[in-house]
């Protein structure tokens, strides 16, 4: 029996109405049939356009397809655009792409706008308290991007923690109510802003914040979805003041 093939490719530039400053994995189909090829694309948006997300191999810490306890590394081809193929096992699977930290220096005004957008109010307050609000911010950031695939169109999406420094995990679905965990190294991370985007319209639909148990529960209509969240803390590295971890999760639930 032949299995469907999973491929990761770049995306040609498209016009998008939203997705401000987001990067995510998106398959052409979240439900695949046996013998069917599924393409997963790495997307990045500046809020106006979606374009190819070029990611050099040395930036990739982990790129694999995971099913239960089975981890299948996805080999990379040469070049700047990440691309790979692997057989998709029968049943649910998670594709995870985790990057190495990258350094960036941001002027004070841009960093402040970024903190507002991501709901990182505690970081802004800490900078003001320390007299740093007008200083350039030195930051190391990494990403943990996941997408949920399956060969069973009758089952709800299945997700589980991947051990990223920070990640979103879809824990359960009851009817149209979904529950997500915000996890830092596997432990609940309370007070994190999570944004929910409709993949078909590109629009930001809901913004929520994780409770004291690091959990978000909310209703979402059937469709294709993207959830994003950013966690930040003081850095212990000499060249950086801050370490941020960007998480994204894409999935489909119910019939569109």
The SS3 of residue 114 is helix
- In tens, the pLDDT along 177-233 reads 999 999 999 999 999 999 999 998 888 999 999 999 999 999 999 999 999 999 999
Confidence of residue 16 (pLDDT cuts 50, 70, 90): very low
User: Average pLDDT, stretch 69-81?
Assistant: 72
Lowest mean pLDDT among 66-70, 148-152, 171-175, 238-242: 66-70
Higher-pLDDT residue of 231 and 7 is 231
Q: Find out whether 138 and 160 touch, Cβ atoms under 8 Å.
A: no
- Lowest-confidence segment of 67-81, 101-115, 137-151, 157-171 by average pLDDT: 67-81
**Alpha-carbon distance 170 to 227, whole Å?**
10
Q: Are 1 and 121 in contact (CB under 8 A)?
A: no
| Amino acid 6: pLDDT | 53
Whole-number Å distance between alpha carbons of 193 and 76: 33
Residues 6 or more apart whose Cβ sits within 8 Å of residue 236: 243
Residue 37, pLDDT above cutoff 90: no
Token couple for 57: 């191999």
pLDDT for 81 equals 54
- Nearest 5 degrees, angle CA 194-CA 200-CA 202? 50
Average pLDDT over residues 99-118: 95
The whole-number pLDDT of residue 42 equals 85
Residue 125 phi, psi (nearest 5): -65, -40
Handedness of CA 237, 240, 245, 246 (dihedral sign): negative
Measured N-to-C along each axis, helices 108-117 and 121-129 cross at an angle, to the nearest 10 degrees, of 140
* Predicted TM-score of the model (pTM): 0.90
What are the respective helix, strand and coil percentages of the chain, to the nearest 5? 10, 50, 40
Q: Residue 193: its pLDDT value, please?
A: 97
Query: Cβ contacts of residue 119 below 8 Å, gap of 6+?
Result: 192, 193, 207, 209
Contact between residue 229 and residue 223 where contact means Cβ atoms under 8 Å apart:
no
Q: Share the mean pLDDT of the chain.
A: 86
pLDDT of 10: 42
Instruction: Quick: pLDDT tens for 76-95.
Output: 665 555 656 667 778 899 99
Strands 93-99 and 38-45: unpaired
pLDDT of residue 75: 73
Q: For residue 211, report the phi and psi dihedrals to the nearest 5 degrees.
A: -80, -170
Report whether 188 contacts 180 (CB < 8 A). no
Task: Please give the pLDDT value at position 5.
Answer: 53
């Amino acid at each position: 029996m032949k299995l469907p093939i999973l491929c990761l490719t770049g995306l040609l530039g498209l016009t998008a109405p939203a997705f401000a400053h987001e990067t995510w994995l998106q398959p052409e189909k979240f439900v695949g049939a046996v013998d069917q090829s599924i393409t997963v694309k790495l997307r990045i948006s500046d809020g106006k356009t979606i374009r190819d997300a070029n990611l050099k191999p040395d930036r990739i810490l982990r790129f694999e397809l995971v099913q239960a306890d089975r981890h299948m590394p996805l080999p990379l081809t040469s070049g700047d655009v990440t691309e790979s193929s692997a057989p998709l096992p029968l049943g649910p699977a998670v594709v995870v792409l985790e990057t190495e930290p990258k350094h960036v220096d941001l002027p004070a005004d841009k960093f402040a706008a970024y903190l507002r957008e991501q709901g990182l109010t505690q970081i802004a307050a800490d900078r003001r308290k320390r007299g740093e609000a007008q200083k350039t911010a030195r930051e190391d950031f990494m990403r943990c991007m996941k997408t949920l695939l399956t060969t069973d169109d009758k089952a709800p999406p299945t997700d589980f923690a991947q051990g990223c420094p920070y990640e979103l995990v879809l824990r359960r679905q009851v009817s149209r109510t979904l529950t997500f965990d915000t996890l830092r190294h596997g432990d609940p991370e309370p007070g994190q802003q999570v944004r929910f985007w409709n993949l078909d319209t590109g629009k930001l639909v809901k913004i929520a914040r994780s409770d004291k148990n690091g959990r978000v529960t909310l209703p979402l209509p059937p469709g294709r979805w993207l959830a994003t969240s950013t966690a930040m803390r003081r850095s212990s590295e000499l060249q950086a003041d801050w370490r941020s971890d960007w998480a994204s999760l894409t999935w489909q639930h119910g019939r569109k």
